[in-house]
Structure 1
Amino acid sequence: MLQRIQTIYLFLATLISGVLIFFVSLWYTEAGNPVFVEKVLIALGLFLASSVLSFISIFLFKNRKLQFVLGRINILLNFFLLGVFVYWSLTVPGEMEISEKGIGMFVPVLSIVFLVLANKAIKKDEDLVKSADRLR
């Protein structure tokens, strides 16, 4: 059943992690040049892994438990990515590399929000199915 609300949330998380990151900069250098995700391979790999997990979760609607677990793993992956960004922005000595943070550093936060909303809806569906099974 692809017409559930969690499908929309997972699709938005897929778009944010897989498409939006190529259009927003992660940070700006001292010279004012934007640094995009293509130049930072670790961030690119983590963003694409998050996008793939969200996309796979969309089609696991028959196995809600696995869909819920993949959502949690994806949330942890995005928290790790957010932690990497915070580490990079705080440990660079003397403003050598990251002069000004871009909106791209906050993309994992948006993805986490949509993944939490999707997991909430998946849990609600699972509880509904369990309550219907009790009535039989």
Structure 2
Amino acid sequence: MIQRIQTIYLLLTAIVSSGLIFVFNLWTNSEGTLVYATDNLISLGLFIASAVLALVSIFMYSNRKLQFVLGRLNIILNFFLLGFFVYQSLNLSGETNVSEKGIGMFLPIISIVLLVLANKAIKKDEDLVKSVDRLR
């Protein structure tokens, strides 16, 4: 059952959360240096936790309800990560530390969209199994 569409969505989420954080910067500070997720321990931990949760969710294909719950937890985790980025960018007066936002700040949004699509496919599978059980 690993060949399902939600597995692809969850794998893409894991790639976005664990691989693209090393490619795209989060912001450029006032000195002009690029800040990546590896430079901030909180953002790195949240990104890695999101990737691990997505990978664990892939192998929970036999328990679709738990897979759905793990997807929801991952969405909440990505909202916390997005909120942390908004806090970082708005907390500093005059943007003294965050002078230019990078595309890495949008990675949690991409993860959230992929997780919503995965949860939609998981729900569709669960409804299909329930409808087949009614016919027996």
Does 1:92 pair with 2:59?
no
Query: For residues 74-113 of structure 1, what are the structure 2 equivalents within 5 Å?
Result: 74-113=74-113
Sequence identity percentage: 66
Query: What is the aligned length?
Result: 136
Which residue identity lines up with residue 64 of structure 2 in the other structure? R
State the Cα distance separating 1:130 from its structure 2 match. 0.2
Normalised to the residue count of structure 1, the TM-score between the two structures is 0.98
Which residue identity lines up with residue 55 of structure 1 in the other structure? L
Question: Which aligned runs of 4 or more in structure 1 are off by greater than 6 angstroms?
Answer: none
Which residue identity lines up with residue 11 of structure 1 in the other structure? L
What CA distance in whole angstroms lies between the structure 2 residues aligned with 1:64 and 1:99? 44
Normalised to the residue count of structure 2, the TM-score between the two structures is 0.98
Tell me the equivalent position of 2:37: 37
Please, which runs of 5 or more residues in structure 2 have no aligned partner? none
Tell me the equivalent position of 1:10: 10
Which residue identity lines up with residue 121 of structure 1 in the other structure? A
What CA distance in whole angstroms lies between the structure 1 residues aligned with 2:87 and 2:37? 16
What CA distance in whole angstroms lies between the structure 2 residues aligned with 1:11 and 1:95? 35
State the Cα distance separating 1:33 from its structure 2 match. 1.1
Question: What are the superposed Cα offsets for residues 33-80 of structure 1, whole Å, 9 maximum, x if unpaired?
Answer: 110111100000000000000000001100000000000000000001
State the Cα distance separating 1:32 from its structure 2 match. 1.7
What CA distance in whole angstroms lies between the structure 2 residues aligned with 1:131 and 1:94? 57
What CA distance in whole angstroms lies between the structure 2 residues aligned with 1:65 and 1:132? 17
Which residue identity lines up with residue 15 of structure 1 in the other structure? I
Tell me the equivalent position of 2:131: 131
Query: How large is the RMSD of aligned CA atoms in angstroms?
Result: 0.6
Please, which runs of 5 or more residues in structure 1 have no aligned partner? none
What CA distance in whole angstroms lies between the structure 2 residues aligned with 1:94 and 1:115? 34
Which residue identity lines up with residue 11 of structure 2 in the other structure? F
